[in-house]
Structure 1
């Protein structure tokens, strides 16, 4: 209940991830494969950060239930 107004820290990161993936796709379509791979790498790093944060949140929620 108290988390109702709490902001989701991964929400902004997911929007950025979506933007990076879209940018990489457009770069690849335009023939800039090297640039696309750099942007894809950034997106992969961001995805790993999101997964780590969400795993930490799950662990905290699990410990609060006990």
Structure 2
């Protein structure tokens, strides 16, 4: 309840974007293969950045 007004961290924002892209990828996978592949590539490009931020956050 108290997290309602808390700003999202960059990790949380990237994870939400990743989930959204993967959802779109799944929906498009049976409709339009080219767009599906583009969404998948965009989602996969976010993974290294998310991992980098998580490692930096764990170091603190």
Which range, TM-score by smaller chain? 0.7 to 0.9
Change (3 A) 1:27 1:7: closer
User: Structure 1: which 4+ aligned runs deviate by more than 6 Å?
Assistant: none
For residue 9 of structure 1, report the CA deviation from its aligned partner: 2.0
State which structure, 1 or 2, has the greater radius of gyration over its C-alpha atoms. 1
Gapped runs of 5+ residues in structure 1?
Answer: 62-66
Q: CA RMSD in A?
A: 1.7
Aligned length: 55
2: distance between equivalents of 1:6 and 1:58?
A: 19
Gapped runs of 5+ residues in structure 2?
Answer: 1-5
TM-score (norm 1): 0.71
TM-score (norm 2): 0.77
